[in-house]
Amino acid sequence: MIALYFAPKTCSLAVHIALEYIGIDYEAIKIDFSQQEQRKSEYLSINAKGRVPALAVDGTVITEVPAILFYLSQRFPQANLAPLDSLEASAQMQAFNAFLCSTVHVAHAHRFRGTRWVDETETDAIDAMRRKVPESMGQCMALIEEGMLKGPWVMGEQFTVADMYLYTIATWLEGDGVDISKLPRVIEHRDRMSQMPAVQGLQALYS
């Protein structure tokens, strides 16, 4: 049995899309951040990091979006969600997802989670981080716009889990104050993704 621990308005959407697209049976378990459930012992016993997503598979818990997405693409190769026949292409896909995870998502987190880096009393520093988000996110997405997004999908002609992850982060751009008029290819990709049944079925859950 596969169980996904998720929270609305988080990067767990990427994994949720993958599960829906593959079409397997799974249990979706909501972690209510408004009730601080991610910090309670019940969830920390599943994921000590206190974050989502977490994927429980036959007694094993997998965390971190790139790892979960690649696991799903390997476990369900019939879905053709990764270039598994090419070591180099697979590494490129992983590099793209790692960039989203380690750089783009971190830039976004400065808008909400400044206390990860400075104390709550450092209000000037927290405000400075928030003000930087439109610029830092804009720079990250410009790199994707201008070269990393091969088109029509991230990896070119093949639709992969990287597209699910890019879509998820692209839904945050307006809230982050990014000028999306400078990102026509990213927004076209987001619009195309939004028409997929696997995405549409989750939009209300993550809005």
C-alpha–C-alpha distance, residues 122 and 65, integer Å? 30
C-alpha–C-alpha distance, residues 160 and 170, integer Å? 16
pTM beyond 0.75:
yes
Which pLDDT does position 139 carry in this prediction? Answer: 98
pLDDT beneath 70: ranges in the chain? none
Which pLDDT does position 207 carry in this prediction? Answer: 81
User: What tens digit of pLDDT does each residue of 80-94 get?
Assistant: 999 999 999 999 999
Q: Are 65 and 55 in contact (CB under 8 A)?
A: no
Q: Are 162 and 97 in contact (CB under 8 A)?
A: yes
What's the distance, CA 24 to chain centroid?
A: 20
Four-residue CA torsion sign, 104, 110, 113, 117:
positive
C-alpha–C-alpha distance, residues 171 and 16, integer Å? 15
Edge-to-edge strand order for the sheet containing 60-63? 27-30, 2-6, 54-57, 60-63
Which pLDDT does position 150 carry in this prediction? Answer: 98
